Amino acid sequence: MGNIENQSQSHSAAFEKEIQTNFQKDMSYGDYLHLDQILSSQHRLSSHHDEMLFIIIHQTSELWMKLILHELHAATQCILRNDLEPSFKMLSRVSRIQQQLIQSWNVLATLTPSEYMEFRDKLGHSSGFQSYQNRLIEFSLGNKNAHTLAVYQHQPELYEQLNQALHEPSIYDAAIHALAAHGLSVNEQALNRDWSKNYEANESVEQSWLTVYRHTGQYWDLYELAEKLVDIGHQQQLWRFNHMTTVERIIGHKKGTGGSSGVTYLKKVLDQPFFPELLSLRTKL
C-alpha cells in the first residue's frame, strides 16, 4: 500500500496546479485544430483493417501539400519582388516537407498486394492522379500541362483555380526574372513567354546561371536561390520515384484506378525534370 500511495502522490505532484483544466469558455487544443472534423474524416468503404492506413497516408499527404503550396506561393512573390532572402527559409521548409512526403511511401509500402486487393475495387475510378494539389505543385515548379485540367471539369471552382495557376509564372519563371533584375542577359523569349506552356531550356538562361556559378561571391543571393531550387527539384523527383516503386511493389503493372497505365505512366513522369539549366550547367562548369 505504501508504494501505491507514494506513486499516487508522485503523479499528483507532476500535475502542476497552474495547468488549465476548465475549457467551458476557453479554446482548447482540439478546438484550435478542429480535431473533431479532422479525426472524423476517415470513412472506410470496406471492413478491411488496412484501408485506414491507405486513407490516412493520402489525407496527411494532402495536408503537407497544402503547406508546400503555401510556402511556394509566398516564396514566388518574394522572388518576383526581387526580395530573395526571405524566400530562402520558405524554400528550405518546402524541401523538409518533401522529405516527410517521401517517407510516407515507406509507410504505405507495408501494405501488401493481397491486402490492397481486398479493398481496391471500393476506390472506383478515384486515383492520386486526380490530386489537384499535386497538380498545383507541379505547375508551381514549372511543369505545366493544360490537358490535365480536363480531370477537374466537374468542379468549376477548382477548374478555375487550376486554370489560373496554369497561366501564372512558376517559381522558376520568377527566378529567371531575378536573373534579369540583377543585370544578367536573359532574352525576351524566356522573360515574356506563355506561362501556360511547359518550360523549355533557354540558352541565355543557362549562360546567366553559369555566370552566377562562376562568380558566386558577386551573385551570392542568386547562387543560394539556385541551390534551393535544385534541392526542391531533387526532392520532387525522389517523391515521384518512391511513388512509382511503391505502386510497382503493391500492384505491379496493373492499370491505375484512374485509368492511367500505372507504373508505366509514373516512369514517364520521371523523365520530366525541373529547372533544366540548373542541371545542364553542372556539365559545363
Residue 3 has pLDDT above 80, yes or no: no
Whole-number pLDDT of residue 22: 86
Would the annotation count 56 as a binding residue? yes
Contacts of residue 242, defined as CB under 8 A and 6 or more positions apart, other chains included, come to 102, 105, 106
Residue 268 pLDDT greater than 80, yes or no? yes
From CA 112, how far away is CA 45, in angstroms rounded? 18
What CA–CA distances, in Å, run from 199 to 38, 225, 267? 37, 18, 20
What are 182's three cell numbers? Answer: 540583377
Ligand-binding site membership of 58 (annotated): yes
216 assigned binding-site residue: no
> When comparing pLDDT for 26 and 3, which is higher?
26
Query: Considering the chain, what is the average pLDDT of its residues?
Result: 93
What would the mean pLDDT of 154-178 be, rounded to a whole number? 97
Confidence (pTM): 0.92
Cα distance between residue 50 and residue 107, in whole Å: 12
Q: Is the pLDDT of residue 9 over 80?
A: no
| pLDDT range class, residue 131, cuts 50, 70, 90 | very high
Which grid cell is 76?
514566388
**pLDDT tens across 83-97, in order?**
999 999 999 999 999
- Is 182 marked as a binding-site residue? no
Question: Do 95 and 232 contact (CB within 8 A), yes or no?
Answer: yes
Instruction: Encode pLDDT of 13-35 as tens digits.
Output: 566 888 888 888 899 999 999 99
pLDDT of 232 > 90? The answer is yes
265 is in an annotated binding site: no
Q: What is the mean pLDDT of residues 227-253?
A: 96
The residue written with cell numbers 499528483 in the block is: 12
